Amino acid sequence: MGGYELQVLDKQDFSQQYILSLPINHPFPALPQSSVRVRSEILSLTVNNTTYAKLGSFFGWWDVHPLPNGIPESFSDSQRYGRISAWGFGRVIESNYSPLPMNSVVFGYLPIASLPVDLSLVQSKDTKQALEVSRYRARLLPIYNRYLLFSASEMEGFSRDFLGWSSLMRVLFQTSWMLNKFLFAWDETVLAKPSNGASHWTMNDANVTNAVVILLCASGKTALSLAHQFRQNRPRTAQPRMILGVTSAESKAFTKATGFHDDVVQYNAISPSLISSLRIDDGTKVVLCDFGARGETFQSWFNTLKPVCKTLVPLGIGDTPQTESPEDLRTRFAQSASLGKEQVNASDLSTVAMASIGEEKYRQELEEAWGAFLGSGALPRVSLEWGAGMSAVEKVWDMFCRDRIESRKGYIFQI
């Protein structure tokens, strides 16, 4: 190994990325107590990663992994440049935290780099998890400071496919599992609202029994897994009447082939005739889930549905991979809020869900659902595409920023 590499992004235009190198003798500080030094080993890239860059200044995502000492001076301005993270597995290469000896592994929010990172950890209420408590990460949403713990022997028992799917989908699936079980709860004792800032969310809002659920950007992996959960992990008496996937012309055949939806249409299909064919009328509840549709798609569907149906519940889940200025983002969020569109915050959901059933039970139930999802074939027709090293990351990041990714592929990297 000739040295370390890390991805650095322009904060104003995250499509501008730089893969920087540091020498193999790069100095590291002494490891503090209750800390581990971790090297990213397997990571994934999804549209979520561009969201971390786009909204990084709002949610503290730029603060997770500060620019290290020793990088070229032209990239040392932390006001202009920063780093984001990806979900995956990291190997412990040094430890002062007894639950995680050397060669054990963490799963969580890790740097897009071969340069190791130090994590300051405390035990969570669940012994299979630990919480990162560094001061500079204090304003980060709790879900990003939570790490799953694995022994070296446990890791040896996992197949390459399991590690790839876990890196790619576990967190996305977790969001969909929470949406199905806690947001659209059929049991009031576990009901959670979309975010801590949501104005209201009652069992009437959550009830999707006999409703029409419309998923915009339905080819996305979180949207696909939500469609799966609605049909496979929910009492039949509490299921929607119809799940409609809405996607691009390029992704329509792929989305339909998953078999998760009752029908799949293109973005421009919204019309009075479509509404009639879906049997949407003044007695119908419609849940409109926007997983990051481009342009005016959400507005068009909202405006056409609102006057026709009895109840329209608009939700935002995720965002598009296009760059936007902070001013444009604020304007768009304000417009969405004026329509009553609630933005889902997965971290807030997880905090409420863990409080309602306990951290250990939450993890166990999630792992049971995750295992069933994998056992059923996960996402049909989606294949894992493995890349090696930071050069592969660089290539795929550019594809995301140019909106040239393929829905039928999951992008995984051996760092």
Q: What is the pLDDT of residues 60-99, one digit of tens each?
A: 999 999 999 999 999 999 999 999 999 999 999 999 999 9
| 243: pLDDT strictly greater than 60 | yes
Closest of 239, 204, 243 to residue 223, by C-alpha: 243
Give the single-character DSSP code of 275. H
Residue at 29: amino acid letter:
P
Structure token pair of residue 187: 């049991």
pLDDT digit string (tens) for 367-387?
999 999 999 999 999 999 999
Structure token pair of residue 415: 């760092």
pLDDT digit string (tens) for 30-50?
999 999 999 999 999 999 999
Residue-level pLDDT at 255: 97
Instruction: Give residues with Cβ within 8 angstroms of 132, minimum separation 6.
Output: 119, 120, 121, 145, 146, 147
Radius of gyration of the chain (CA): 21
Residue-level pLDDT at 216: 98
- CA 48, chain centre distance (Å): 5
Q: How confident is the model at residue 330 (pLDDT cuts 50, 70, 90)?
A: low
CATH tag for 4-157+382-414 (out of 3.40.50, 3.30.420, 3.90.180, 2.30.30): 3.90.180
CATH tag for 172-349 (out of 1.10.3720.10, 2.40.50.140, 3.30.565.10, 3.40.50.720): 3.40.50.720
Distance CA 158, CA 412 (A): 16
Distance CA 301, CA 286 (A): 11
Give the single-character DSSP code of 196. T
Q: What is the mean pLDDT of the chain?
A: 94
Q: What is the pTM of this model?
A: 0.93
Domain ranges of the chain: 4-157+382-414, 172-349
